[in-house]
């Protein structure tokens, strides 16, 4: 059956990196029998400019109809002064909620060829390979009630609610235990159970699941300590599971440990194998349109799509290997450059991957 893939390039460097990812997909279709159909839709600032809405109904419908979404990046200073629901970010948040993409997978991998770009000492990060599993459709991002108002003293007051029920926690927990089983067999659940009720429930449910997954070593860590341990000794982690907000912060810190967030993909999955795939990096408006952005994060997001939605682990491996070869051959976009290497533009890097497929 032909798989429908929706490309949502978004803002900033989104369009130019997605172009390279599409070349990769086209090549897999032509040369390796991948049965796909590509469509494109507006999202983020580009959609605001065209329609006034960061996620127009037609884009949402197209995303609903698709088997997988390839997402570029969104946002930029042009839309920063808008009210929150008219900002590019809210398009992404609505898409996650509407498609029920509750499981966000964020690998933080250090490429041996790129150890020098990390801010951390080589022995601390060499071989780093962490998977952060972030809950993506609940918690304080979506909790009700929320709002801003004047209180009894006439002062402005604002609030958000961090809320989870056991169903939400156990479904992300199961996803994480399953991932840990396919990896190193160790799962660290991160919370703030010494302070927050919602974290206590999180911990209770993880412990209950732990009794079903007896082959997995489950540990717990407070979020402040996790932030420390990521800096001190990140290789102690295998799979990490955490809530929406904590995952936002920790996955970005973990990504930056590798020094090359231009290299890191992510997947946001629903319960049925549908996924939205996007680079961890943002829209980088300062370098947009200059053909210097690193397309490898979105190309590696295609690899995640091949593995998790399209069930073609063989082709996923092919793409990942091509990225490895490109690095071995010394090709470098600006963000991962060092002296003796060969500088490549966005299109040259994309072309190199395509050639090696």
The annotation status of 233 as a binding-site residue, yes or no, is: no
Q: For residue 293, say whether it is annotated as part of any ligand binding site.
A: yes
Distances (CA, A) of 213 to 19, 181, 203, 340: 42, 9, 15, 48
Tokens of 209: 């699941």
Catalytic residue among 224, 328, 338, 355: 224
Q: How far apart are CA 80 and CA 126, in angstroms?
A: 38
Is residue 152 a known part of a binding site?
no
Structure tokens at 332: 């470098």
Among 37, 65, 119, 195, binds ligand IPM (CB under 6 A): 195
Rounded to a whole number of angstroms, the minimum distance from the CB of residue 6 to ligand IPM is: 18
81 is in an annotated binding site: yes
Question: Does 355 participate in catalysis according to the annotation?
Answer: no
Q: Which is nearer to its own copies, 286 or 355 (CB)?
A: 286
CA separation for the pair 20, 288 (Å, rounded): 14
- Which helix (H) or strand (E) segment holds residue 297: the answer is helix 296-308
Q: Does 43 bind ligand IPM (CB under 6 A)?
A: no
84: nearest Cα among 48, 112, 117, 115:
48
CB of 327 to its own copies, least distance (A): 20
Cβ proximity to its own copies: between 80 and 314 the closer is 80
CA-nearest of 117, 38, 104, 28 to 70 is: 38
192: annotated active-site residue: yes
End-to-end CA distance of the chain: 23
Specify whether 318 is catalytic: no
For residues 299 and 350, the answer to whether their CB atoms sit within 8 Å is yes
Q: Which stretch binds ligand IPM (CB under 6 A): 57-65, 86-94, 149-157, 200-208?
A: 86-94
Q: Is 235 a catalytic residue?
A: no
Q: Is residue 261 within the footprint of ligand IPM (CB under 6 A)?
A: no
Residue 252 falls in the annotated catalytic set: yes
Q: Residue 350 CB, nearest distance to ligand IPM (Å)?
A: 23
Report the sign of the C-alpha dihedral through residues 8, 14, 18, 19, in that order.
positive
The catalytically annotated residue of 111, 164, 192, 238 is 192
Q: Interior CA angle at 90 toward 173 and 254, to 5°?
A: 45
Cβ 61 to its own copies shortest distance, Å? 25
Q: Does the footprint of ligand IPM cover residue 228 (CB under 6 A)?
A: no
Active site residues: 141, 192, 224, 248, 252
Binding site for ligand IPM (CB under 6 A): 89, 92-93, 194-195, 224, 248
């Amino acid at each position: 059956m032909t798989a429908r893939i929706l490309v949502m390039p978004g803002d900033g460097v989104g369009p130019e990196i997605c172009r390279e990812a599409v070349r990769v997909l086209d090549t897999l279709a032509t040369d390796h029998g991948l049965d796909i159909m590509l469509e494109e839709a507006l999202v983020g600032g580009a959609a605001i400019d065209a329609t006034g809405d960061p996620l127009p109904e037609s884009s949402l419908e197209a995303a609903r109809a698709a088997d997988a979404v390839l997402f570029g990046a969104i946002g930029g200073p042009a839309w920063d002064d808008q009210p929150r629901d008219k900002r590019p970010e809210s398009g992404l948040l609505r898409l996650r909620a509407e498609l029920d993409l509750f499981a966000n997978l964020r690998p933080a991998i250090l490429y041996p060829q790129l150890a020098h770009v990390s801010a951390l000492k080589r022995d601390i990060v060499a071989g780093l390979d962490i998977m952060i599993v972030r809950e993506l459709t609940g918690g304080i991002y979506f909790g009700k009630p929320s709002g801003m108002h004047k209180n009894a003293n006439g002062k402005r007051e604002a609030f958000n609610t961090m809320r989870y029920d056991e169903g939400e926690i156990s479904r992300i927990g199961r996803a994480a235990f399953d991932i840990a089983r396919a990896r190193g067999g160790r799962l660290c659940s991160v919370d703030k159970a010494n302070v927050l009720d919602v974290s206590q429930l999180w911990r209770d449910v993880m412990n209950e699941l732990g009794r079903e997954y007896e082959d997995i070593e489950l540990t717990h860590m407070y979020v402040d300590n996790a932030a420390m341990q990521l800096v001190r000794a990140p290789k102690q982690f295998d799979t990490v599971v955490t809530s929406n907000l904590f995952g936002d912060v920790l996955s970005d810190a973990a990504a930056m440990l590798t020094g090359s967030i231009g290299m890191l993909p992510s997947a946001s999955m629903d319960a049925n194998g549908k996924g939205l795939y996007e680079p961890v990096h943002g829209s980088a408006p300062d370098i947009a349109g200059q053909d210097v952005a690193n397309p490898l994060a979105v190309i590696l997001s295609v690899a995640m799509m091949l593995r998790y939605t399209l069930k073609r682990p063989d082709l996923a491996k092919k793409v990942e290997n091509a990225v490895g070869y490109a690095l071995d051959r010394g090709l470098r976009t600006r963000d991962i450059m060092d002296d003796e290497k060969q500088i490549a533009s966005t299109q040259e890097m994309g072309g190199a991957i395509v050639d090696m497929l």
